[in-house]
Structure 1
Amino acid sequence: MKNTPVIFAVALSLATAAIRFAGSSEACPGSPSMAVEDACQKATPGDRKTYWLCMKIMEAPPREADVTIYAARAGKRAFLSYAAFNTEAGEQLRNKSLSGEMKDAYNGCLSDYATAKAALGAVLQKVDACDLKASFGDFDAALAGLERCRVRLAGWQNDVSVDLEYEGVVDDKTETALAYSLTRLAVPTS
């Protein structure tokens, strides 16, 4: 685990570069165009909580747009939200009373988040290049990294000091899954 800060720093710089290159996605040829309400509803069938999260993320969306634009916006939001966990985990690791097992869990989560962030950075590049289907494996890698972290923290979920971080991981996973659903929705049907 001694290399965790180095791995994290490298992944963070790669992922940050990816988000800069991703810029603001333009419409992709053949991707459907629809109102944000319709896109959010189709991306979150039957899940009202995630539907409202989708609507919130879109903040003053255009009346109707290519779904790729919504997918890119959701992906960027998820990408940026990962930083909050890294800050919280860093603060927890500075706590001298933290048990060795909890330190291991947080260090493991920092590595998991570095993997997730690098994968989501690759997603953003592919979405920006309209290579939507190629992003699916990277989405899977990002979600797997977040799930590994969630499992690491699950044993301490009822500990008040860990509960916020645990909920943050769950929220990051939800946002990433939403971006994934929107990206799948953006794939041209013909």
Structure 2
Amino acid sequence: MSLLGLLVVLAAAVSLVAGDGKPCPGAPSMTVETACRNASGTQAMYDMCKDALAGVPDPESDHDVTVYAVDAENAALASVRATQDAAVRLLLYNSSLSGDERGAYLFCEEVYTAAEHDMGVAADKLGVCNLDGLADDYVNGLLAVESCRDRVLNLPASPLYAMVLVDRNKAALAFLLGKLLGI
């Protein structure tokens, strides 16, 4: 079997564990609507949740909430990676950065490496229905993103600020959907 064929089979197997296939043991099942209502404390978070889960097949049917948690964590992780790439590009290609900007972006690149690790661990655990320490992985990733947000908040017109806010909201949503698993 070719390497590409093996990767396709492996990806399919991983998605069946917690994705579209069998539910994780003890995970509740609910519709997207119910999951978003249960995970959201505000209308803005509810709207973001509905948008984030818009691609779930047959959203009006009950699904294992792990499906939602996996989708949200993968989206948060992809967002964090894009922001980290943007920070690196700013550091490499923008010679007009002030010392404060350069320091903030270096800090963000560093803490985003930690966030990416923690969020990747969370995604891996969800993929195999391992909830041990999952809450800590979520919180650690979220706190890393928030520490970057706190640094760029004080910069004048930082191009990263809006991206970091999106990352924070996506990480928070992933955590709130993960909490539906009883973590």
TM class by smaller structure: 0.7 to 0.9
Aligned equivalents of 1:52 and 1:181: distance in 2? 14
1:149 aligns with 2:148: yes
1:41 matched residue in structure 2: 37
Instruction: Output aligned runs, 1:1-190, within 5 Å.
Output: 23-24=14-15, 25-26=18-19, 27-45=23-41, 47-61=42-56, 62=58, 63-93=61-91, 94-156=93-155, 159-160=156-157, 162=158, 164-187=159-182
Q: With the length of structure 2 as denominator, give the TM-score of the two structures.
A: 0.83
Per-residue deviation, residues 106-159 of structure 1 (Å, max 9, x unmatched):
001000110000000000111122222421111111011111101111111xx2
Unaligned runs of 5+ in 2: 1-10
**Which protein has greater RCO, CA pairs closer than 8 Å, 6+ apart?**
1
Give the AA of the match of 2:108. C
Structure 1 residues 187 and 130: CA distance shift in structure 2, 3 A: farther
- Displacement after TM superposition at 1:21 (Å): 10
How far off its partner does 1:23 sit? 3.9
More divergent stretch after superposition (85-94 vs 134-143) = 85-94
Q: Percent identity between the aligned chains?
A: 33
**125 and 22 in structure 1: CA distance in 2 versus 1, 3 angstrom threshold:** farther
CA separation in 2, counterparts of 1:179 and 1:125? 14
- TM-score normalized by structure 1? 0.80
Distance of 1:59 and 1:36 partners within structure 2: 8
What's the C-alpha RMSD, in Å, of the aligned pairs? 1.9
User: What is the number of residues matched between the two proteins?
Assistant: 164
The answer as to whether partners of 1:66 and 1:186 remain within 8 angstroms in 2 is no
- Asked if structure 1 preserves the Cα contact closer than 8 Å seen for 2:76 and 2:167, the reply is yes
Change (3 A) 1:21 1:101: farther
2-structure distance, mates of 1:78, 1:32: 22
CA contact (8 A) 2:24 2:129 kept: yes
SS state at 1:131 partner: coil
